[in-house]
Amino acid sequence: MSPQPTERSHARKREAAMPFIMLTVLIDMVSIGLIVPVIPLIVGQFTDSPGAQTFWFGAVTLAFGIANFFASPVLGALSDRYGRRPVLLMGFSGLAVSFIVTGLATAMWMLIAVRLFSGAMQSNVAIASAYVADITPADQRARRFGLLGAMFGIGFTLGPAMGGLLGAIDIHWPFFVAGALAIINWMYGYFVLPESLPPERRRSFEWRRANPFSALKGLSQLQGVGPLVAVIALASLSDFTLRTSWVLFTTFKFGWGPAQNGASLFTVGIMSAVVQGFLLKHLLARFSPQRLAGVGLVASALTYFGFAVVPQGWMIYPVIIIGTLIGGGAQASIQSLVSNAADSGSQGRTMGSVTALSSMMAVIAPIISAPLLGVVAHRPQGDIWIGLPFFFCALLQAIGAGIAIAHFRRQHALRVAAAA
């Protein structure tokens, strides 16, 4: 009879799996980043005014968010039942189809239909986060989530830069290149990526638990999480408002095209990779995740305000660099606190619930950002009020920072009282 594997051998296998999922996420984010500088321009092909372009870009974004809100908890729960790898492969397939069909679209309804399909098919961020939680001890998750965040950053460094260059030649090219990368990622996942969730840790699938509203309720009931659900919601709403506004904001305010937008997003990606891939582990050695989250949220509020008020395009870059250096660790810190509050058999559902919450904000964001941009789209280039969506983001992030700091102080007081 062969000997049982030792804990040390399990630890080695967990350590070896991390580079696989990091490469998977990197390829995924490069493919997604490719289309960011050009998708508003694709929408603009089917509209006849800046106001109409803003409205329909919001509708396209809304379609993805609605589908992803309902699908993410289901996909997360399916990954708890059948493993992470099959659900990731399904997501890569959905992205490949979505990108290629978007590049071939000849009407607005096709864009909306394919974004609905894409949102329903993939929850790669949530599943990748659950994968990392599967292979990482609780006390190391903040650092590992930081490494995962670095892959997001590098992906959004390479993707938008490539998309901006390709889009300057032909706005359809980024979609076809992104589709090819998604196919490559599917092949890598099928032939190379190992499964992270062993059969003995899987749990049965229940539709009741996969309901997005039930999933969000369960998320809020995790020990020590509570108000952080509201913080995640506000931060996600800010983030998606920025995503749905950025390209049109820089176009209206600074007259930027795909190349300039790609360069700005390249800078965001570089800074995110530096902070989450290198600085975060050193910061976590000195400060708690709670401290990093609180400081990071305040810094993010100031960063959004900076985006809104800068009068010239080059000034965006110092705001990105300083804001990311100070605030770039907030997301990984909060994510680790939520993950550590969930048991090992519920990581997929928990991360799916976080993604569902983000997707709900992705639904709300274009409903808010499109009218805000529409109100100021007629204003002259350089006008401060074109930054209206980012004033809104700054307010949301400031409220989230206040909630988080108050929650962390209460938790600290409870721990002190319990130890007395």
Q: Is the pTM here over 0.85, yes or no?
A: no
Q: Quote the tokens at residue 390.
A: 């980012």
State the sign of the Cα–Cα–Cα–Cα dihedral 101, 106, 111, 117.
negative
154-167 burial by CB neighbour count: b if 16+ within 10 A, else e?
bbbbbbbbbbbbbb
Burial zone of 245 (CB within 10 Å; 0-12 exposed, 13-18 middle, 19+ buried): buried
State the sign of the Cα–Cα–Cα–Cα dihedral 202, 208, 213, 218.
negative
- Written as one letter, the residue type at 127 is I
Distance, CA of 174 to CA of 168 (rounded, Å): 10
In angstroms, the Cα distances linking 183 to 97, 101, 383 are 9, 14, 43
Q: Quote the tokens at residue 89.
A: 């492969």
Q: What is the pLDDT of residue 15?
A: 60
DSSP symbol at 349: H
Distance, CA of 216 to CA of 403 (rounded, Å): 18
Instruction: Look at residues 297, 265, 253, 313 and name the one whose alpha carbon lies nearest to residue 395.
Output: 297
Q: Quote the tokens at residue 169.
A: 């030649």
Distance, CA of 305 to CA of 317 (rounded, Å): 14
Burial zone of 370 (CB within 10 Å; 0-12 exposed, 13-18 middle, 19+ buried): buried
State the sign of the Cα–Cα–Cα–Cα dihedral 287, 290, 291, 295.
positive
Alpha helical stretches, state H, 135-257: 141-169, 173-191, 207-210, 212-220, 228-254
Instruction: Look at residues 86, 122, 92 and name the one whose alpha carbon lies nearest to residue 186.
Output: 92
Distant-in-sequence, close-in-space partners of 253: CB < 8 Å, separation ≥ 6: 313, 381, 382, 383, 386, 387
Instruction: List the pLDDT tens digit at each of the 420 positions of the chain.
Output: 444 555 555 555 556 678 878 888 888 878 877 887 788 888 888 888 877 887 888 788 788 878 877 887 788 888 888 998 999 899 889 889 988 998 898 899 998 998 888 888 877 777 888 888 888 887 787 778 777 877 877 776 778 778 888 888 888 999 899 899 889 989 988 888 888 888 888 888 777 666 777 766 666 666 666 788 888 889 889 988 888 788 889 988 999 887 888 788 788 878 877 887 778 878 888 888 888 889 999 999 999 999 999 999 999 999 999 998 888 778 778 877 777 766 655 565 666 667 667 767 877 887 788 788 888 888 888 899 999 999 999 999 999 999 999 988 988 888 888 876
Burial zone of 259 (CB within 10 Å; 0-12 exposed, 13-18 middle, 19+ buried): middle
Domains of the chain: 16-194+211-419 (1.20.1250.20)
